[in-house]
A = this chain, B = another copy of it.
Amino acid sequence: MVKKYLNKISLTDALKKLKDRFKDFRTESEKIKTVDAEGRVTVNAVMAKRSAPDFYAAAMDGIAVEAQKTAGASERAPIQLEIGSEAQAVDTGDPIPEQFNAVIKIEEVNQTDENHYTIEKAVPPWNHIRSIGESTVKGNLLVTASHKLSDYDLAALLEAGVTEIEVYQKPLITIIPTGDELVNASENPKIGELVEFNSQMVKAALKKWGAEIRVTEIIADQKELIEKAVVESVKASDMVIVLSGSSAGRGDYTIDILKKQGKILFHGVNIMPGKPLIAAEVKGIPVFGLPGYPLSAWLDNHLFIRELVYLMQAESAPNFKQIEAEVKRKVSSEIGLEEFLRVNLINQAENKFTAVPLKRGSSAMESILKADGIMRISENKEGLHPGDRAPVILLKEKNRIKNDLLLIGSHDLSLDLIRNEIRKRNYNFDLKLQTVGSMAGLTALRRGESHLAGAHLLDPENGEYNVSYLRKFFKGQKLLVVNLVYREQGLYLKKGNPKNIANIDDLTQNNINYINRQRGAGTRVLFDFLLSQNEIETNQISGYEKEEYTHIAAAAAVGRGSADAALGIRAAAEVMDVDFLPLAEEKYDLIIKAENIDDPRINKLIKLISENKIKSKIENLGGYNCQETGNIKKLQL
């Protein structure tokens, strides 16, 4: 991807430039009903239009009197008051007639005849009377200008007679998606087409921040069409966002158009992802060019556009929820670029979190779907070393992350099922999965990056699963090995097996394209074992070097015809509707450090997978055997 950046600047400088330029930029004001004003921001100070309560009211059931007339009353010298002129019955909340200034409790009053009360106690002025303006006083300042209205602000305004209020309009933002290869997300893309979803992602966030959004139709990659859309949108909006397609070479029109129509504030920021951002001013309003890769667009939207959306409503964007977390592995990062790395977090101790990086790459949504937060590696760092700490922007509530379990290891479909069951039952934790292969899972567990590892590693020497590997990884430690499943491994073949593959030997044929799993994956270990059993060299397998990371991805590749065969579990074959040629049954275990044996979440998890109902759900996925599921073996290594 070749891009020319006018002037790449740091995040801090870019943000400052943007905010300085638009610091006084506000949407127009509008008058709306107070009852609809929650979350909106006032243009002016608002004063109470009336006092509340607006009358003196009885605070007790009793009689209203003139306090002066009760002076000297006692048991021995009771005072008689004429009903009507000198006293009047009132209930709590009733207004006090103008001539009276005190209330005597009903318990302290005797009615001597039809026209008279007798009292035996004097009362001071204002006895048992609620003040005018006890809650609010006419003329008092209720809320200042530039104040975001809360639920209780509305109450105070309504109480004080303010039924309409002037607020800043919601910013109207026009989003212009561009790209020849894009089709609407509601359509089925043909080969070579991609669905356009960035506009909806950006829109959803902008709406949450208080804006109103118009998304234009997708504009083809023609300069004059994009220019026309920009010019028209600028006229009718408070902000315009041009979304590039995700292919290279695009977005160049945008910079030319914005240069011609307005002034570029910056083009390119020293961040990753999100580098190719364009910020400009056209006819006084901010116009952005967002990169096409979804994670880049997402990050730029949250780092830059969000600030302006709040500013336009006379607010400051709330600070990101951010914590510090430690890494337990080396994390590389390019110097000169602030990197935003998706991570899982695990809670090590009170307010002490470890961050475990997910896959990089700004085109894959999966990493953010699985992430708990986004770790910031500052531009003057070449990366992080084990033990280093870095800030992490949270994508979830800290208190939920604290409760979660993190499993790092091999991929198995039953884990998705279990995870979903946990959510459905509203357990107070989530089971998060990082699928990196069995070996990487054991490494992560050893480093303290996870609560559980998932592994199915065959020892070719003795045909046993996992134990010999654990012995190497966890020498001297105590572990729990909990069986998750036994599962069939076999070859995914295109529906109908057009190339007549009948056994592993057939993979060496010239016209057969294989797709392998990544290094350290148990399935790859198994494949290597099967090859050596059959005395096949890896260079006899065309495609041995092409790697996929999950069973599903491998089966999908076969289903799509881009490979003829791949090794994997039966359940994925059923999901992807490909043929399956069974070759082996293998054991998939969960590995847990013995010190966590009393963790209530671990216990809940083991209890869950031990349920017959869950076991039969897993077996229904196909190719699973749950006879030992939930069985615990303690190992002293």
Chain A interface (Cβ < 8 Å from any Cβ of B): 1, 23, 34-35, 38-39, 45, 47, 50-57, 68, 91-95, 98, 101, 124-126, 131-147, 150-156, 158-159, 161, 163, 181, 185-186, 188-189, 191-192, 194-195, 197-198, 200-205, 207-208, 245-249, 294, 298, 314, 316, 318-319, 361, 363-366, 368-369, 395, 397, 399-400, 416, 419-420, 423-424, 426, 428, 430, 513, 542-543, 545-546, 548, 550, 552-553, 555-557, 559-562, 572, 575-576
Contacts and interface: CB of A to CB of B under 8 A. Distances in A.
Contact of A556 (B23, B133, B247, B424): B133
A556 B92 contact: no
A222 B131 CA distance: 28
Contacts of A245: 93
Number of copies: 2
Given A125-B542, A192-B95, A194-B52, A397 B152 contact: no
A434 to B, nearest CB: 13
Given A39-B208, A195-B158, A197-B154, A369 B142 contact: yes
B93 A140 contact: no
Nearest to A124: B545
Given A556-B139, A560-B51, A158 B248 contact: no
Contacts of A137: 550, 552-553, 556
Determine chain A's interface SS by DSSP, over half rule.
loop
B560 A132 contact: yes
A363 B134 contact: yes
Nearest to A47: B575
Contacts of A397: 318-319
A277 B359 CA distance: 50
A365 B152 contact: yes
Given A101-B513, A151-B202, A316-B400, 9 more contacts: A1-B92, A35-B185, A92-B248, A132-B557, A138-B556, A139-B556, A145-B423, A158-B200, A319-B399
Contact of A294 (B124, B145, B155, B298): B155
11 contacts: A38-B205, A54-B191, A125-B542, A126-B545, A137-B552, A143-B369, A147-B423, A152-B201, A152-B294, A153-B369, A159-B365
Contacts of A561: 98
Nearest to A156: B365
